[in-house]
Chain A
């Protein structure tokens, strides 16, 4: 009989996709454990965002935050309120999303509540009266299943670990008043800058085309983008490409970037060094296009096209377009 809370995030007045995934997961775990689940939303507009989250099953605890804290980073506002709620209602397990804000909230909660933590979860199941968290460690060499030594804990859950599924019976939204003893030390947000080229988060993409050093220059990106468009997918890149400034960091795939799990990953001009491998090795199907048949990516790709990507990729794009328009 465990109480499982999904700690959600609000963006543009709505719960994020990751929040809905966590809500679904909490609902499933509660059902399997004979316990109950909640989705916690903290922030300005939490109540308004509540129904959208409640559609995914668990009742929502919506904590409004007054405008006075508007100059602080979100996690600094969310964490003390969640900690206060946790102290009052004593849930057993918290599920927190592995977004930047989510990880901040989790880290702050670790300091505030001292709850045990399992980070980098790629799946959570219920077994033997406890959550069973799947994690990939040591650069992907090992897949472990872990649990808590005690009866309580927090789990950081990666995006796309579960698919968000609306519930047959939505939960109710409960607006909760929470007052905290002390806010966290002051950090002020004094400005905000928008940069062009911000793409949709690639963790959510079903198909990703990766650009490696083989593209040679920022001009080489065009053929990659065209292929991604033809496949209906997103563009990712290796660290070398991002470090060269050709692609934003948010699209970096690998050990120090994003771990992605698309159904299809097309690696163009990517050697497949282990730091990059870590980012894509759980992808469904990996196709590599590279001039060097000796490249390490051959070890984990399913199909390896030996050739100049500037010859192969445009032809592939053209063929895909032709096929789509029915003239193949």
Chain B
């Protein structure tokens, strides 16, 4: 299971790449593997604001629709429109090309509550038991 060392992780399997006051968010390799083939990603609109833990996107695979949660609070600055035509990127490159949104973070202290790569790895091992 790939885990990008530079990112922070939320227990619902979202990753966060911090860039100053902004963050880029996507879902982890574990998440895409659990979902199987992704057929559609429903993204929010630029300008929408969410609290930590709010549902901001939905990922549809052939068998289920899964909610995606905000790992930290913020305002949507950019959405990855490439996912509209190529949802399969979520399976192929979850940490790179298949980023979901870029946000302006509302409260940087929320990052302290997230897991780093090591902690996330341990967390995943705990889930598999």
A, B bound: no
Where the two chains meet, the residues of B that have a C-beta atom closer than 8 Å to any C-beta of A are none
Q: Which of A's residues lie within 8 Å of B, judged by CB?
A: none
